[in-house]
């Protein structure tokens, strides 16, 4: 079916959704992939508004997944640093009694 206005489909966010699913946060990334897969099919079916909504939802879930992944990485880094500092403190106390 020919697109009447020669418009391009909205951004699908499929690549970004797949990447954040692999590297950041699986559940929200899957929601991004599901919505991203709907963008072009709705667009070419003539549902321009539905394609725009699916694109917006894909973007939302991709960003949520990305920022949750970043937050988890920061918390993990802080906990690792705290664990290393604690280990050095314990090792220093053990050396003082030797």
Rg of the chain over all Cα atoms, to the nearest angstrom? 23
This prediction's pTM? 0.80
In a domain, 5, yes or no: no
Q: Over the stretch 21-70, which tens digit does the pLDDT of each residue have?
A: 999 889 999 999 999 999 999 999 999 999 999 999 999 999 999 999 99
Alpha-carbon gap, residue 62 to 15, rounded angstroms: 10
What pLDDT score does 33 carry?
97
Length of the chain, please? Answer: 98
In a domain, 79, yes or no: yes
Structural domains of the chain, count: 1
Q: Domain range for residue 35?
A: 14-96
- Pinpoint the alpha helices (H) of 1-98: 14-23, 26-44, 48-96
In a domain, 21, yes or no: yes
């Amino acid at each position: 079916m020919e697109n009447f206005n020669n418009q391009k489909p909205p951004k699908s966010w499929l690549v970004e959704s797949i990447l954040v699913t692999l590297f950041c946060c699986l559940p929200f990334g899957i929601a991004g992939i599901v919505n991203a897969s709907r963008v072009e099919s709705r667009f070419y079916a003539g549902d321009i508004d539905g394609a725009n909504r699916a694109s917006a939802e894909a973007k939302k879930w991709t960003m949520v997944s990305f920022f949750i992944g970043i937050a988890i990485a920061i918390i993990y880094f802080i906990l690792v640093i705290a664990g290393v500092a604690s280990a050095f403190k314990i090792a220093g106390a053990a050396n003082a009694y030797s």
